[in-house]
Amino acid sequence: MSDAIKNRYDFVFLYDVKDGNPNGDPDQANLPRADAENQEGIVTDVCIKRKVRNYVTLLHQLKSPYDIFIRQGNVLNPIIKDSGKDIEDRQKNLTKNYYDIRTFGAVLSTGAKGEGAGTVRGPVQFTFSRSEDRIYQAEHSITRCAVTTPEEAKAQEAREHASTFGRKSTVPYALYRMHGFVSAVDAVKTGFSEGDLQLLWEALLNAFEHDRSAARGEMNPRKLVVFKHASHLGNARSGELFERVVIEKVGNLAREWNDYCVIVDKEKLPAGVEVMEKL
């Protein structure tokens, strides 16, 4: 498509959490996700994609071409089937109307034979986020003065105040780092445009602003470092560029953003690579 982006991008996204659970693990009683070997905190790529989708939903109210395909309440197979007469036509219409398919891609072959739309490979890919240091998975006992059933109230009649107990898991503080990739080659296939790209940056920087909850504590974007390539194939390896973003800890125990120093090495960049900092 003629309006698809012409440049490849690689980026580093830094964000932090204070007294919250950025991504609970259902296999571990919803404790904050952590690497079992080194106890570094983990946030899945799916979690951050969900926040991007939510922001785009709030901004554009599910209006084409910024509708969201993967969202609660959608029944996917009928949408896929009714989007066109064949696979090619369905893919074209779905990528045109749905921002998240155009951006992240989607598996569209979930229906009956002849009713699907194959698989769309999205130009934007996220890695898992990892904390810069080991995290402490804090658990807190919580109470409430109300009960939910008459039976529970009767069982607590002997107490002066009826109360129930629960658990809440948090990370006292952690700085997370995520890497991302934007392929101009795959963008041509989905029509991912410069406008879509700017919306992606905007969504990342506002991802936590409209996703507040008691469980997540304080989550804030801290820095978005974008490497723009002059070529659609790229002018340097992404790993070499990511190494230019160095995070140094000030002191022994980090408990806030100012306990870290982020250095972006802009000296002697590879030819054809431009670096941009947001925040």
Question: What are the CA-CA distances from residue 5 to residues 106, 118, 120 (Å)?
Answer: 19, 23, 17
Sequential pLDDT tens for the chain (279 residues): 459 999 999 999 999 999 999 999 999 999 999 999 999 999 999 999 999 999 999 999 999 999 999 999 999 999 999 999 999 999 999 999 999 999 999 999 988 888 999 999 999 999 999 999 999 999 998 887 777 888 877 777 766 665 667 889 999 999 999 999 999 999 999 999 999 999 999 999 999 999 998 889 999 999 999 999 999 999 999 999 999 999 999 988 999 999 999 999 999 999 999 999 998
Distance CA 24, CA 149 (A): 28
Contact 39, 134 (CB under 8 A): yes
168 located within any domain: yes
1 located within any domain: no
The verdict on pTM exceeding 0.85 is yes
Domain around 124: 9-278
2 located within any domain: no
Number of domains in the chain: 1
4 located within any domain: no
3 located within any domain: no
Phi, psi of 64 (to 5 degrees): -60, 140
For 170-191, letters b (16+ CB in 10 Å) and e give bbbbbbbbbbbbbbbebbbbbb
